[in-house]
Amino acid sequence: MAEQKESSVLFSLKELMNLEEDRIRQEEDQKRRAEEEAARVRAEAERRVREEEEARIRAAEEKRRGEEQRSREEAARLEAIRHAEVEKARLDAENAARIEQMRHQQEHERQLAMVTQDKSKKRLVLIAVGAGLLFVGAAVTGVVTYSNAQKKQQELQAQLTDLTSKQEENQRKMNELNDKLAKATTPEEKAALQAQLDDARQKAADLAADQQAVKSGQHVVHHSTGVSAPVQHLPKCHCAAGDPLCSEIPGQTCTP
């Protein structure tokens, strides 16, 4: 009877121990699942924060690029408008000079007709017409010279604008190469990036030299736009062969 009672007590204790072990395992499982769930929630939150930050950076970069593109387009548009206005002014000046020259040519022909009718006034007409032609020639020469000077100045300004744009683009390239060089891991990659960086630095020096040359009034063709110097065109003298009233104008060649 005592043995049966002792066995029953041992069985009960064993059952209690099993129950306690089951409870402890359940608590450990719950704790592990809770920790895993918390880790999963943290990882998910960190992933969302990282994705949102990456999206914000991409949006900011796209906005910056868009603003730079709009700025370049606006600058190009304004430059085109300014160039068109300058070209219109040059054409207007040339047309006015041609009209003035034609008017004086007609006046010259009228004076010739008057000379043939009145020999006594020949000397007076010669003096008046000669002075008029000298004045017209000087005026036309001045207009053409001013027009050519304006055209040269505009060409130099266009070259300087182009060189400045190229210098800015080259500087951005150098910054990108410096960033890549700092992140390079292999000697081959570093050597290749260093060679590109050296080329970009040489190009920056060449462009700076070209900008200085353009600022001093020289055209540059080997490093920049390839625009050559403007050609000066002198007005022609329209004189008939043996015309006694045709007075040579400095800078012109009178031919039959």
More confident residue, 229 or 167: 167
Chain segment 108-144, per-residue pLDDT in tens: 888 887 777 776 666 665 666 676 677 667 666 766 6
> 251 lies in a domain?
no
pLDDT of residue 84: 92
Residue 7: pLDDT band by 50, 70, 90 thresholds? confident
- CA 129 – CA 14 distance, rounded (Å): 140
- Structural domain range at position 34: 1-57
> 40 lies in a domain?
yes
> 24 lies in a domain?
yes
CB atoms within 10 A of CB 89: 12
pLDDT of residue 165: 92
> 94 lies in a domain?
no
DSSP string, 153-185: HHHHHHHHHHHHHHHHHHHHHHHHHHHHHHH--
Residue 215: pLDDT band by 50, 70, 90 thresholds? confident
Mean pLDDT of the residues in the chain: 80
> 14 lies in a domain?
yes
**Under a CB-based contact definition with an 8 Å cutoff, are residues 114 and 125 in contact?**
yes
More confident residue, 92 or 254: 92
Chain segment 65-99, per-residue pLDDT in tens: 999 999 999 999 999 999 999 999 999 999 999 99
- CA 84 – CA 67 distance, rounded (Å): 26
More confident residue, 172 or 220: 172
**Under a CB-based contact definition with an 8 Å cutoff, are residues 134 and 108 in contact?**
no
> 159 lies in a domain?
no
Chain segment 18-71, per-residue pLDDT in tens: 888 999 999 999 999 999 999 999 999 999 999 999 999 999 999 999 999 999
Q: What is the 3-class SS of 182-246, one letter each residue? A: HHCCCHHHHHHHHHHHHHHHHHHHHHHHHHHHHHCCCCCCCCCCCCCCCCCCCCCEECCCCCCCC
- CA 95 – CA 44 distance, rounded (Å): 75
Entry pTM? 0.31
Q: Residue 173 pLDDT > 60, yes or no?
A: yes
Percent of the chain with pLDDT over 70: 74
> 4 lies in a domain?
yes
- The mean-pLDDT minimum among 34-43, 195-204, 234-243 falls in 234-243
Residue 174: pLDDT band by 50, 70, 90 thresholds? very high
For the record, the structure tokens of 197 come out as 């960086």
Q: What is the 3-class SS of 28-71, one letter each residue? A: HHHHHHHHHHHHHHHHHHHHHHHHHHHHHHHHHHHHHHHHHHHH
pLDDT of residue 242: 52
Percent of the chain with pLDDT over 90: 47
For the record, the structure tokens of 98 come out as 């041609």
- CA 51 – CA 55 distance, rounded (Å): 6
> 233 lies in a domain?
no
pLDDT of residue 230: 39
Residue 152: pLDDT band by 50, 70, 90 thresholds? confident
pLDDT of residue 132: 66
Residue 156: pLDDT band by 50, 70, 90 thresholds? confident
| Total number of domains constituting the chain | 1
Q: Which residues does 157 contact at the CB level (< 8 Å), separation at least 6?
A: none
